């Protein structure tokens, strides 16, 4: 069983999220992807967050009926900050039969050395890095690995194999350009502008009913 782990604040979850996770799932033949709204993101202090329960409900409603997408509250029920390495270890214990892939954006990857036990992540799961928007080539990622992780690596098209105690793979996935962001949606809501087409209808209903981001 090949399973992806895709976490984020999802504040709010939007159509761009859906499009890219569908793309990654299809490209890597993943059987399922776990979507994980984070509780308290240690790398995003001061961000205007909807409540954990509201964000969980938005993601859950958005993927209802989409085959192979599951929502987990694992980081919402855990006390304290949300650390990716803790989530990975819990998932591996809960689903020992699964081969896990951590899905992350390129910007998040370039910050990984500041994460709690960030280097251990490569020992636990395979990593899929999504290239979006401004990213035209792989050189920033290769340079980052060379400077921070390992000077022994091989690059072949969209697959990067490097030496980190053992030989490990990173998959680099170019995803469709999507001009939607959670920040933009929150700003539009504050300006009383329409968000049709930016979020799933059920997400819009929750935002309106709970008067979020106003």
Asked whether residue 169 is assigned to any structural domain, the reply reads yes
The whole-number pLDDT of residue 171 equals 86
Under-50 pLDDT residues of the chain:
none
The whole-number pLDDT of residue 198 equals 97
The whole-number pLDDT of residue 189 equals 97
The whole-number pLDDT of residue 43 equals 54
The whole-number pLDDT of residue 193 equals 97
Asked whether residue 213 is assigned to any structural domain, the reply reads no
Closest CA to 62 of 208, 176, 204, 184: 204
Q: Are 95 and 4 in contact (CB under 8 A)?
A: no
- Token pair listed for 4: 């992806």
Asked whether residue 198 is assigned to any structural domain, the reply reads no
Distance CA 55, CA 120 (A): 28
CB neighbour list of residue 98: distance below 8 Å, 6 or more residues apart: 1, 2, 3, 91, 92
Q: Are 174 and 28 in contact (CB under 8 A)?
A: no
Q: Distance between the two ends of the chain, CA-based, in angstroms?
A: 42
The domain tally of the chain equals: 1
The whole-number pLDDT of residue 162 equals 61
The whole-number pLDDT of residue 167 equals 56
Type and span of the H or E element at 55: helix 52-63
The whole-number pLDDT of residue 120 equals 84
Q: Are 75 and 40 in contact (CB under 8 A)?
A: no
Kindly list the distances between the CA atom of residue 212 and the CA atoms of 9, 14, 54, 76, 186, in Å, as whole numbers in the listed order: 15, 14, 9, 19, 9
The whole-number pLDDT of residue 46 equals 52
Asked whether residue 186 is assigned to any structural domain, the reply reads no
- Give the domain extent around 103: 2-181
Question: Which CATH number covers residue 71?
Answer: 3.40.50.620
Kindly list the distances between the CA atom of residue 151 and the CA atoms of 51, 119, 146, in Å, as whole numbers in the listed order: 42, 14, 5
The whole-number pLDDT of residue 68 equals 97
């Amino acid at each position: 069983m090949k399973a992806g782990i895709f976490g984020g604040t999802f504040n709010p979850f939007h159509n761009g999220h859906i499009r890219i996770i569908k793309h990654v799932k299809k490209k890597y033949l993943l059987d399922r992807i776990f979507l994980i709204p984070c509780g308290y993101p240690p790398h995003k202090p001061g961000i205007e967050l909807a409540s954990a329960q509201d964000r969980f409900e938005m993601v859950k409603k958005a993927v209802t009926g989409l085959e192979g997408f599951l929502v987990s509250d694992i980081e919402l029920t855990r006390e304290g900050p949300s650390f990716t390495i803790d989530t990975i270890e819990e998932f591996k214990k809960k689903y020992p039969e699964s081969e896990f892939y951590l899905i992350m954006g390129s910007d998040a990857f370039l910050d990984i050395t500041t994460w709690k036990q960030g280097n251990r992540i490569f020992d636990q799961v395979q990593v899929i890095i999504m290239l979006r928007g401004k990213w035209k080539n792989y050189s920033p990622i290769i340079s980052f690995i060379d400077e921070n992780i390992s000077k022994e690596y091989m690059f072949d098209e969209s697959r990067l194999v490097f030496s980190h105690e053992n030989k490990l793979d990173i998959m680099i996935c170019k995803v469709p350009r999507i001009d939607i962001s959670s920040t933009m949606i929150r700003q539009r809501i504050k300006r009383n502008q329409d968000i049709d087409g930016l979020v799933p209808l059920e997400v819009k209903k929750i935002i309106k009913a709970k008067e979020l981001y106003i």
